[in-house]
Structure 1
């Protein structure tokens, strides 16, 4: 994609979403997050709480504060070198709280692969396919990071309904959900990134994740984001689900 096309696309996304061109210059501004949340708002008119797992530099949280100004946002980012950037990008927004840890299916420490392209950092190894498609993800090094189950934190967090759990944890989404079994009873919407090809070694692909969240009691609403290769191969999608209503009569 040429630079001119990228700029034109960014301008269009911010204008159509209602954020305005001035927002493009804000710290943490993101075209992808703005597009995803603009699409989400078609299906979710209001939110009280957003759990932002895999916050990176705060791109999603900053955009979410625009689309859902009444929501309390809890942003989790484990990378020690990225967390200070998240704090700087969100410190002006009182609705955002930040946590220097990962969410997962255990409490303690987690072996993690810090990638030179921070968006690709994960508890899983980057696959050979991803390195080939996205050469900027080739370099990574192993570290240990703090991890907690969402279930162990839910008494410390404000779960004001409606609640959205957003997962952008690079193939580790299923493990986060396994550590949130009790918390999911208070979560109204799930938004997560899933792959159609093996971007990380051992990650569950779309079909497995779709059936898994259905068993957890959620139903599919719509795709709200998309990642394609330069050759237009579908690599990943951001999918939105909502908790099924209890149709049993008392």
Structure 2
């Protein structure tokens, strides 16, 4: 039957995800569920697909079916916990809490922007701001061009962010387009991409401060922050996807990131999107929200 096998259907669905065609992905994952309704893998993939399309209830149902079939299905359990979590842990909630304190932002520098969805979540908080999206993976070029063409306040560059302008090595699995990482050294599966510094982009586009810097860069944060050093004193908020494990040779762990940012005058004020790994349900990553250490919130050390 070729691609009509269960494995073939999953492969077709994952290929559709890689090219950004969620409708086709849903079609193939739904067919895989019909073909093998007692296989939790198909329910997990369908649930992920539905969640990406905003069908939270459908995603919960699919993940629940996967857990009902296999109570030890770690991927389903992790995603189900994520879907059922308190909304306080979601990025829009954290951004809204911060904006409500009067924090000003005139430019959002969204690094690791993928399709621009993070910036779209931030825009309700700072609707007047400029949004500049930096993305190294050419897979997202068409979607970013479409988004920026429709949104006058949005701009983008297909490049990795780093310490200076030039070129850098980059790798990304086409089957997992939301991943990817830059590296100063070439490795298996790497290719060369343009590199820009955030300070250089601010100067090139004359982007006004204060700035919000968001990094979804999988361990390559230190060089990016070095390239942002000239604008950090005009930065009011830095959001960094931070890890508990060494996912990259140069990655800073949770406590190291906090110390690094403290040296630059920033403290953690909030968090969002915690993720527990499938392997053993240990905390894998969390987005940390850093604001300037002289913010008035830090002058009060009591709970109430």
Please classify the TM superposition score into its range, dividing by the shorter chain length: 0.7 to 0.9
Which is helix-richer, 1 or 2?
Answer: 2
Aligned twin of 1:49 = 107
Moved more, 35-44 or 190-199: 35-44
Q: Which runs of 5+ in 1 are unaligned?
A: 13-30, 126-139
Task: Report the equivalent of 2:95.
Answer: 40
- The aligned counterpart of 2:247 is 199
From 286, 290, 304, give the equivalent of 1:237: 286
Higher RCO structure, 1 or 2 (CA under 8 Å, sep 6+): 1
* Structure 1 residues 20-48: Cα deviation after superposition (integer angstroms, max 9, x where no partner): xxxxxxxxxxx99x931332111123532
> Would you say the 8 A contact 2:241–2:287 is kept in 1?
yes
Alignment match, 2:227: 179
| Residues 180 and 161 of structure 1: CA distance in aligned 2, closer, same or farther (over 3 Å) | closer
- How far residue 165 of structure 1 moved from its aligned partner, in angstroms, is 0.7
1:225 alignment partner, SS class: strand
Counterpart residue number, 2:156 = 98
Partner Cα separation in structure 2 for residue 102 and residue 204 of structure 1: 18
CA shift at 1:98, angstroms?
Answer: 0.9
Q: Relative to total residues, which structure has the larger strand share, 1 or 2? A: 1
- 1:60 to 2:118 alignment: yes
Pairwise CA RMSD: 2.9
- Secondary structure of 2:218's counterpart equals coil
Residue number in structure 1 paired with 2:134: 76
- Equivalent residue number for residue 30 of structure 2: none
- Select which of 192, 212, 219 maps to 2:260: 212
Whole-Å Cα distance in 1 between the matches of residues 96 and 253 of structure 2? 26
Contact 1:65/1:95 (<8 A) preserved: no
**Matches of 2:250 and 2:201, distance apart in 1:** 27
The 1:190–1:63 alpha-carbon spacing in structure 2 relative to 1, beyond 3 Å, is same
Could you tell me which residue of structure 2 aligns to residue 115 of structure 1? Answer: 173
Contact 2:107 2:209 in 1 (8 A): yes
**C-alpha deviation, 1:11, in angstroms:** 9.2
Q: Superposition pairs for residues 121-132 of structure 1, below 5 Å?
A: 121-124=180-183
Structure 1 residue 239: Cα displacement = 0.3
For 1:189 and 1:9, the matched residues in 2 are separated by: 33
Aligned pairs, how many?
214
Name structure 2 gaps, 5 residues minimum.
1-42, 61-82, 297-304
The secondary structure found in structure 2 opposite 1:227 is: strand
**Alignment CA distance shift 1:76-1:10 (3 Å):** farther
Q: TM-score, with normalisation over the residues of structure 2?
A: 0.63
Describe the superposition over 1:159-195 as per-residue Cα deviations: whole angstroms up to 9, x where unpaired: 4344211111111111100111111111111101010
Q: Are the aligned partners of 1:114 and 1:122 in contact in 2 as well (CA < 8 Å)?
A: yes
1:246 and 1:120, CA in 2 relative to 1: closer, same or farther beyond 3 A? closer
Tell me, yes or no, if structure 1 residue 149 matches structure 2 residue 191.
Answer: no
